[in-house]
Structures are given as structure tokens and as C-alpha cells.
């Protein structure tokens, strides 16, 4: 497929019907400045992840002159899309009758904000509600009508989404470690997310209870309940 595209002088960046797994997304990279689309930032992020999902510096390095708010927004969209993969895996053992509350360590119980009044939910329901809520917000024409420029007041809403998303990683790490480790080995998603929220100071370091790197230890927290 790729050879035929090169010979014709036209690079078609899409998977043709009948493509084998080894040829899936096997097209050349495109420089960011040559991407002529309102989805250019998303495409560039996904392209960099495919090249090497472990290279956090490259994935999170913002292109020159790129709008900072759009960069953060598109990364959070990408995190939520990939995190659905972890949610699917968790369903095999994160049952409502087993994980009756959304917890990380035994010190915290997280309340679900998907209800009129935040309340306790089984962990898997909390996960679904959080990802559904994030999708609704990030696709809202009211707050994010454009993929090219974003108002600062809308960018400010990303913090609360990041806090709730981080709890999904935390629950998986402390209660479903084998699933977490297998997913993380493939995607490096939690490391990338932690690096992202730290690099851009999106959420407080005090609530980052998981290690960013293998040789780091979790940050201790006081016991309690958390709504947001």
C-alpha cells in the first residue's frame, strides 16, 4: 500500500480496506506546519504517540506558535479517548458488588459529580460517569465551539476533569494492579497524564498519589472524602 502511494507521489493517510494489521497506520509522518486542518493538533498528537508512546517529552512538546489552551484541550481529549481502553479492561473484575465505592487508598472515598448532589458510586460506575461527563464537556459547543482557539474561561474547566480522570488511574493502580500494569506497559498513559498535569500545573501535586516514575513513591494524603 505504502509503496503504491509513494510511486504516485500522493501520500494517503488513511487505512485502505483489506489492510493487514502490520500495515495499519503505516504512513509517513507529516510535519505539523503542513497539516492543513482544524484537527491538526489532534492529528499531530496522535502521530507523535504512534511514533513512540514512551517519549513523553516529544508528545508534550508544544509546536511553535501553537495556542496553549488548544494544546491542553486536545491532550485531554486524547487522554479520555485512550482511557476508555482501561475502563473496558477494568470491567472484567471491577464489579459493582466488589468495588462498591470509588476509592484509591483506603484514606479517600471519591464522590461522583454526575448526580445533582455528589454521592458515592461503585468504582466502575464512577469511571463510566466521569468519562461520559468529560466527553459531554469537551464536545460542548457552548464551552468549546472551536478546535482552533479556546477562551481562557473554558480552559479553566479542564482542571476539574483532570482531577476526576486521575482518580480512575488511582483506583486501577491500588485495586486492580495487574490490569493497570499491563495497560500502562502498552500505553504509558498514566505517566504521560501525570507529566502533563504537572508540566502545565493543571492540578495540585498534593493529590498526585501515584509515582510518576518507577523509582518514585506515592505522596501521602490525609484521610477524608472528596467531591470534585
Q: Using one digit for the tens of pLDDT, what is the confidence trace for 77-124?
A: 999 999 999 999 999 999 999 999 999 988 889 999 999 899 999 999
- 147-135-160-124 Cα dihedral, nearest 10 degrees: -160
pLDDT of residue 221: 40
pLDDT digits (tens, 9 = 90+) for 160-215: 999 999 999 999 999 999 999 999 999 999 999 999 999 999 998 888 988 754 54
Residues flagged as binding site for Zn(2+): 94, 99, 171, 176
Mean pLDDT score of the chain: 85
CATH number 1.20.140.30 is the correct assignment for the domain at 68-204: yes
**Mean pLDDT of all residues in 42-68:** 94
pLDDT of residue 226: 52
Residues flagged as binding site: 94, 99, 171, 176
pLDDT of residue 195: 94
Per-residue HEC secondary structure of the chain comes to CHHHHHHHCCCCCCCCCCCCHHHCCCCCCCCHHHCCCCCHHHHHHHHHHHHCCCCHHHHHCCCCCCCHHHHHHHHHHHHHHHHHHHHHHHCCCCCCCCCCCEECCCCEEECECCCCCCECCCHHHHHHHHHHHHHHHHCCCCCCCCCCCCCHHHHCCHHHHHHHHHHHHHHHHHHCHHHHHHHHHHHCHHHHHHHHHHHCCCCCHHHCCCCCCCCCCCCCCCCEEECC
Least confidently predicted of 27-41, 95-109, 211-225: 211-225
Q: What is the reported pTM?
A: 0.83
Q: How does residue 24 score in pLDDT terms, banded at 50, 70 and 90?
A: low
Residues 2/23, Cβ–Cβ less than 8 Å: yes
**Mean pLDDT of all residues in 44-49:** 95
- Give which of 171, 158, 65 is closest to 125, Cα–Cα: 171
**How many Å apart are CA 181 and CA 160, to the nearest integer?**
25
pLDDT of residue 37: 78
pLDDT of residue 34: 74
pLDDT of residue 12: 59
Q: How does residue 228 score in pLDDT terms, banded at 50, 70 and 90?
A: low
Amino acid at each position: 500500500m505504502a509503496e503504491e502511494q509513494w510511486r504516485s507521489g500522493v501520500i494517503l493517510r488513511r487505512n485502505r480496506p483489506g489492510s493487514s494489521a502490520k500495515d495499519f497506520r503505516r504512513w509517513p509522518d507529516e510535519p505539523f506546519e503542513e497539516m492543513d486542518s482544524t484537527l491538526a493538533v489532534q492529528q499531530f498528537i496522535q502521530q507523535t504517540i504512534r511514533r513512540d508512546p514512551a517519549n513523553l517529552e516529544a508528545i508534550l512538546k508544544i509546536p511553535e506558535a501553537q495556542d496553549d489552551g488548544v494544546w491542553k484541550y486536545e491532550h485531554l481529549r486524547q487522554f479520555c479517548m485512550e482511557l476508555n481502553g482501561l475502563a473496558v479492561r477494568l470491567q472484567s473484575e471491577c464489579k459493582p458488588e466488589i468495588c462498591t465505592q470509588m476509592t484509591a487508598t483506603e484514606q479517600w472515598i471519591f464522590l461522583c459529580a454526575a448526580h445533582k448532589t455528589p454521592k458515592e458510586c461503585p468504582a466502575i460506575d464512577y469511571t463510566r460517569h466521569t468519562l461520559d461527563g468529560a466527553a459531554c464537556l469537551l464536545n460542548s459547543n457552548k464551552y468549546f465551539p472551536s478546535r482552533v482557539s479556546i477562551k481562557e474561561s473554558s480552559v479553566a474547566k479542564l482542571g476539574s476533569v483532570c482531577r476526576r480522570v486521575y482518580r480512575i488511574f488511582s483506583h486501577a493502580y491500588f485495586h486492580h494492579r495487574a490490569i493497570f500494569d499491563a495497560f500502562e506497559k502498552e500505553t504509558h498513559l498514566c505517566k504521560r497524564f501525570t507529566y502533563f498535569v504537572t508540566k502545565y500545573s493543571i492540578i495540585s501535586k498534593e493529590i498526585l498519589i501515584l509515582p510518576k516514575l518507577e523509582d518514585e513513591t506515592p505522596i501521602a494524603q490525609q484521610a477524608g472524602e472528596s467531591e470534585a
